Structure 1
Amino acid sequence: MRKFEKLTKCAVLGLAALAAGCATTSLDKRDPYESWNRDVQDFNDGLDDYVMKPVAKGYQWITPTFVDRGITNFFSNLGDIGVTINDLLQGKVVQSGQDGARFLVNTTAGVAGFVDVASMIDLQKHNEDFDQTLGYWGLSSGPYLVLPLFGPSSPRGIGGLVGDAAMNPISYVGLGVSSGVSTAISGGLFGVNAADTRADNLSNEKIATEAAVDRYDFFKNAYFQQREYLIHDGKVPQDKEHEQFDIEKEFDEQNNLAPVNPY
């Protein structure tokens, strides 16, 4: 665990140093490291085209639909542990009881989570992560950052990733055996989860590509909007909505574009 924490700190400091070295003047106040971010997105897109997408298509081709659904349910059920903890950290006691009940029901009656029995009995699934918890307690997201492999994020988002990893039981699989075996088991499970998630999102790629004039701006705006929506449980304060509009208006005016009314 100490080794994991040291590696995480080194990664965060390294990314911050690289981003600081690549700082450029950007029209978007949220994105002072646009040059760095665009280069990393290009890298991630290339990695996706040549590695992740072929792996996801192969995974989808060899995996029967019911098995694919079961694997998705299994990892979603493990994720409910972190969701329940973040519920409590945000003071959502009732919701934490619901998410904790989901995990117990699916782990027992759902055969280790491969069957989503909880949804069948109307136990609603929620989406809570440590980045939302940090935002709930008032921590600003900071500037936009695109991380290698992980994609759109922010300094707060990096902290969220570290917290989520600490709450994920996969991070602790194999403890007590040799470090090599432990790493192989955890890495294998994370790899299957990544392939399953990418396969489930293959159909969404075409929509995003066709909807975006600039894919970079599309993903950046989508990231910030989704984070605000999740942190405020769908009830984004008006000042946040106007702040978003003011930034987009300034960007449009400097590019001689007519601002679009968001309402």
Structure 2
Amino acid sequence: MMNTTIKYVMVLCLFLLIPSCATIKKEAPDMTLPPTGFMTPVSHAPTPTNIMRKEADLEFLDVYDPWDAMNRNIYSFNAQFDRAIYIPAVNIYTTVLPKPVRKGVTNAVNNLNEVNVILNSSLQGRGEKVLRSFYRLLLNSTFGILGIMDVADDWGIKRVVTSTADTLGVWGMGPGPYVVLPLFGPSSVRDSAGLAGDSALLWVQMNYVYDILGVKEGRTLIGAGEATIRGLNLRSKVPFRYYQTGSPFEYDLVRFLYSTKRELDIEKQ
């Protein structure tokens, strides 16, 4: 019984180091505007909204969004979840764990995410990025104590940020329709497929470590705990808060910023 408990603790600690898919799939886009204190709901009536937007000359915010009504409903659900559950949980997380500890968690997650980066950089034909990520993984896993410290960055070896969605973009796949995913937020058909690919890789990593440690039971519970910590750590670094932009066109603005950022991400790969 004691040996089994020790194994579970070891696996949970290791999975604190396994990369977030994220959303989780990648670095969260910076869609932050200064809070104004004025909170306004996102409109769910497309026709009146379109009329208002034309009057305000905001057509430049248009993005291919054939599932507009559904996406707006999911956006509102995410806002309610964020306000009622996610943010309170993040506040507890940031209170319990001091900033240096959270920084160590972020570094360790980024370190094992180098495996994902190496794979996708290879598929993109980016040899220099493959070598850079390999050196980072080697240095941070040794001198950085399993990635808790980012010594590679201190030595001028900067982290490469890429994902399966970026690989699909480099291969010529267009973004497709805009979509808002429950809990995950802004995405597209291509980015959703990329998220599925990153999730599959994470699943393989998790089961590989389970097999090494000989853990047969409790995998679901340990995985849920690891995913929760990754999610809280990611959300704590994103200052965006729903319905605090002071604009009735917040949904349109977030959609535009996300889509534009993803276009630039693909161009930089």
> Normalized against structure 2, the TM-score is what?
0.71
Measure the CA separation in 1 of the matches of 2:208 and 2:264.
31
Q: Please tell me whether residue 183 in structure 1 is matched to residue 242 in structure 2.
A: no
Q: Could you say if the C-alpha distance between residues 192 and 173 of structure 1 is closer, same or farther in structure 2, counting changes exceeding 3 Å?
A: farther
> In the aligned structure 1, how far is the partner of 2:118 from the partner of 2:247?
35
Q: Which residue of 1 aligns with 2:160?
A: 126
Does the 8 Å CA contact 2:176/2:190 hold for their aligned counterparts? yes
TM superposition shift of 1:177:
3.0
1:86-125 deviation line (CA, Å, top 9, x unaligned): 1111110011100111111111111111111110111111
Deviation, structure 1 residue 29: 5.7
140, 160, 165: which one aligns with 1:106: 140
2: CA distance, partners of 1:42 / 1:171: 35
2:251 alignment partner in structure 1: 216
1:77-156 correspondence to structure 2 within 5 Å = 77-156=111-190
In structure 2, give the amino acid aligned to 1:216: Y
Structure 2 residue 266 is matched with structure 1 residue 231:
yes
SS at match of 2:160: coil
Identity %: 33
RMSD: 2.3
CA distance in 2, matches of 1:223, 1:160: 15
> 104, 110, 135: which one pairs with 1:70?
104
Equivalents in 1 of 2:247, 2:118: separation in Å? 35
Name the residue aligned to 1:174. 210
Please state how far the C-alpha of 1:207 moved relative to its aligned partner. 10
Displacement of 1:206 in angstroms is 5.4
How has the CA–CA distance of structure 1 residues 36 and 125 changed in structure 2, closer, same or farther, with 3 Å as cutoff?
Answer: same
1:40–1:147 contact (8 Å) kept in structure 2: yes
Tell me how many residue pairs correspond in the alignment. 208
Pair 1:199 & 2:236 matched: yes
Counterpart for residue 48 of structure 1: 82
Residue 165 of structure 1 corresponds to 199
Relative to its length, the structure with more helix (as a share) is 1
Query: Which amino acid in 1 is paired with 2:97?
Result: T
- For structure 1, the residue ranges without an aligned partner over 5 or more in a row are 1-23, 235-263
Q: Which runs of 5+ in 2 are unaligned?
A: 1-45, 51-61
Structure 2 residue matching 1:174: 3-state secondary structure: helix
Higher mean Cα deviation, 25-34 or 52-61? Answer: 25-34
1:61 alignment counterpart: 95
Deviation for aligned residue 1:212: 4.7
Tell me how far apart the structure 2 counterparts of residues 100 and 187 of structure 1 sit (CA, whole Å).
28
Q: For each residue in 1:159-205, what CA deviation from the matched residue of structure 2 results, as whole angstroms up to 9, or x when unmatched?
A: 10011123333465424533x5111122211110101111122xx22
Q: Equivalents in 2 of 1:65, 1:200: separation in Å? A: 11
In 1, the alpha carbon distance for the partners of 2:223 and 2:241 equals 31
User: How far, CA to CA, are the matches of 1:162 and 1:184 in structure 2?
Assistant: 21
Aligned to 2:72: 38
C-alpha displacement at 1:34, in angstroms?
0.4
TM-score w.r.t. structure 1 length? 0.73
**SS in structure 1 at match of 2:180:** strand
Task: Identify if the C-alpha distance between structure 1 residues 213 and 103 changes in structure 2 by more than 3 Å, giving closer, same or farther.
Answer: farther
